[in-house]
Amino acid sequence: MGSAAHPTSAARGGASLRETVEAALARIVRLYVGLSVALLGLLAIGISHYDAVTRLSQDRELLATRLTADLQGVTRQLSSLATSSLLWTGLTDSFGREVYLAPLLARVNAGSGSRVLVLDYRGRRFLAPEGARTQRVIDSEPVRRAVAEGRGTYGVLALPADMRADDGGSDLPAAVVLVLPVRSPQQTPGPVGYLVAEYDPRQAVAELPLGEGLSIGLRPADGDVAGDREGWLTLVSQSRLQVGPQPLPLALDVRVARSPAGPVLRGIVVATVIGLLGLMLSRRIQRWTAEFASSTTRRLERLVETCRDVLDGRPVVADTHPRGDEISAVLATLHQMLVVQQQITSELRTAARVFETSGEAIMVTDADGRIVETNPALSRMTGYARLELIGRHAGLLYREAENPTTSHVIRESLQRDGLWRGETAFRHRDGHLVPSIVATSRLGETGVGQQGGMVSVISDISALKSAQAQLHDLAYRDSLTGLPNFRALTQALHARLAAADAETRPFLIMFLDMDHLKTVNDTHGHDVGDAVIQALAAHLQTHLPPGHLLCRRSGDEFVAIVDDPADGGGDDSLALNSRLGPGFFRFDARTPRGTMAVSVSAGVARFPQDGRTVQDLLIRADGALLQVKHEGRGTVRWAQPDQGGGAAEHPNPQPG
């Protein structure tokens, strides 16, 4: 009701309001007459259709009975074959399968409307005839799904035109494929093969006394097995496809239809006759519409002016003399609409202010993932200006987590709940990653069947992550030497002992202790003692064999994990000495008070000879260290498993 109905529209060459109303009423009359003609035509079509519908119903019942019986037979036959010892024996005995398995399948496939194929445990051809149709069955979606999931299933296989009429019968566009895994009686973890039955309903359709002009369709049931949906009849086989402890119900949808061309033609003839009579009536009524349009023009022109005021944002004055009719009600409704519109505009301004001033980064994307709006906080967090992001895909900023299932989990959460919240990382313009907490929710639909975009609120947690890293470093690293502490060592030992290849990777636990540290502290002070400990840590890191893990236990005590140098044979001491090198047990340490001679004592325990737990190995190595402290310092002792943690002296390395 825009400019076409404005009072001055006639002067501009458009139709006047009176002409518009008159034309609209004329259309209503024509619509009324047309509907009457259509209803009478449909009545005629319905009468002529009655017989066709009755025959179609009989054909559908006949076809449903036959297909249900055939499917029951196929499922029973397939379940029986799956338990046959000949079948699983043939699948595991490739040399003798032609002797007894091929004749068995030949008897099963002879004279039936279905074909049974045998596939191996990976879904490949095992015993099946050559041909494009056989290969199409093997490559079908039900077979791929059954092999991937290791369970029985079924589906509908679409047949191209050259495969539908190769042996006569009805020109059906699809066949039914049933897949059943074959398992051996030895309860192997997976199937030894798969039975595939292709049921072709063309033979059954050809044998039934069905009427002419039928079209038949076939598809899997969609879960609703009750009733007839849009011409599709759901068939539920009373036989179950036995796939283990849980049987698989078999349900298919079959569509049987007949062209309604004949009844429609008869109805058109009747409707044409009625239409001629209706045309005569509509011309008489059109005279009345002209008079009615003239009487309502003035009120309608007022209504148009009010609508223009609403569109232009001018205040609307309510009708001071309402008549209580429909036009007055429309005018009052327009006034209320303007008030609501003003309230919504105020709320939108408030929301826009919150969006712009929020300390959290906000990003709005469309259904394709392209950015349509951002706030200043996002620019501060990522380094991108707003205009640089608008229109670009959100993947420019978003870095998926290392877990490949993250995107799938996010999509499922958004589809199911409409929102997702979790931790991820965004990429700054300079390339570094910004750890973030993201809350994403889906907007409403923008149209029929069209999903809306998403809005994401992003919180920068860089400071939190940095604090967590500092706490971890304090918990697992020695502050004086920078080495891992004893907690980190015990975790590494537990992980190494729990590894699958632990028995094949022997290693040594070395307890290392500086001799006479107390004398150094008492004589020169703890600052010099700390400097000596730091020099000792650097010395041990340099001289221990490659691949070692060294930690500071406490004071001047260090513990190291070293791979077994003897490789399961030979003299352990000689092998270790050759890897440590000269000067390991005695060296000169530089301190603020000058150079100081330092000697080191060591106790060694071996895995698995001296223990198989962390506690046993540490006790053995500590006992060996105590023994070397008691008998003489600056050397090494090896634990003896048969003496409960005691130590025996091996040949000592010569100090450098």
In a domain, 324, yes or no: no
Q: How distant is the alpha carbon of residue 193 from its chain centre? A: 29
Residue 558 sits in a domain of what CATH number?
3.30.70.270
Q: State whether 608 and 576 are in the same domain.
A: yes
Positive or negative, the CA dihedral 642, 646, 652, 656 is positive
Q: State whether 569 and 452 are in the same domain.
A: no
Nearest partner of 152 among 92, 85, 241, 81, judged by Cα: 241
In a domain, 209, yes or no: yes
Q: State whether 450 and 557 are in the same domain.
A: no
Residue 296 has what pLDDT?
Answer: 67
Residue 648 has what pLDDT?
Answer: 40
Which of 466, 485, 517 is the endpoint of a domain? 466
Percent of the chain with pLDDT over 90: 1
Could you read off the pLDDT of 416-430 as tens digits, one per residue? 777 878 777 777 888
SS3 category, 575: helix
Confidence band of 7 (pLDDT split at 50, 70, 90)? very low
Mean pLDDT of the chain: 74
Q: State whether 76 and 130 are in the same domain.
A: yes
Which of 242, 262, 282 is the endpoint of a domain? 262
Could you read off the pLDDT of 150-180 as tens digits, one per residue? 888 888 887 776 665 444 444 566 788 888 8
In a domain, 15, yes or no: no
Q: State whether 532 and 615 are in the same domain.
A: yes
In a domain, 499, yes or no: yes
Q: State whether 386 and 408 are in the same domain.
A: yes
Which of 431, 466, 501 is the endpoint of a domain? 466
Q: State whether 250 and 392 are in the same domain.
A: no
In a domain, 633, yes or no: yes
Range of the domain at 523: 477-648
Residue 635 has what pLDDT?
Answer: 79
Could you read off the pLDDT of 259-306 as tens digits, one per residue? 666 566 666 676 677 767 777 777 777 777 777 767 666 666 666 776
Residue 232 has what pLDDT?
Answer: 66
Q: State whether 118 and 162 are in the same domain.
A: yes
In a domain, 481, yes or no: yes
Q: State whether 513 and 619 are in the same domain.
A: yes
Please count the structural domains in the chain.
3
pTM listed for this prediction: 0.37
Single-letter code of the amino acid located at 509? I
Judged on CB neighbours under 10 Å (0-12, 13-18, 19+), 507 is buried
Q: State whether 252 and 401 are in the same domain.
A: no
Residue 62 sits in a domain of what CATH number?
3.30.450.20
Residue 558 has what pLDDT?
Answer: 92
Q: Does residue 219 or residue 550 have the better pLDDT?
A: 550
In a domain, 22, yes or no: no
In a domain, 323, yes or no: no
Rg of the chain over CA atoms, in angstroms?
44
Q: What size, in residues, is the chain? A: 656
Name the β-bridge partners of 198: 115, 177
Q: State whether 455 and 535 are in the same domain.
A: no
Could you read off the pLDDT of 597-639 as tens digits, one per residue? 888 888 999 888 888 888 888 889 888 888 888 887 877 888 8
Task: For residue 24, give every residue at least 6 positions away whose Cβ sits within 8 Å of its Cβ, in sequence order, or none.
Answer: none
Q: State whether 497 and 606 are in the same domain.
A: yes
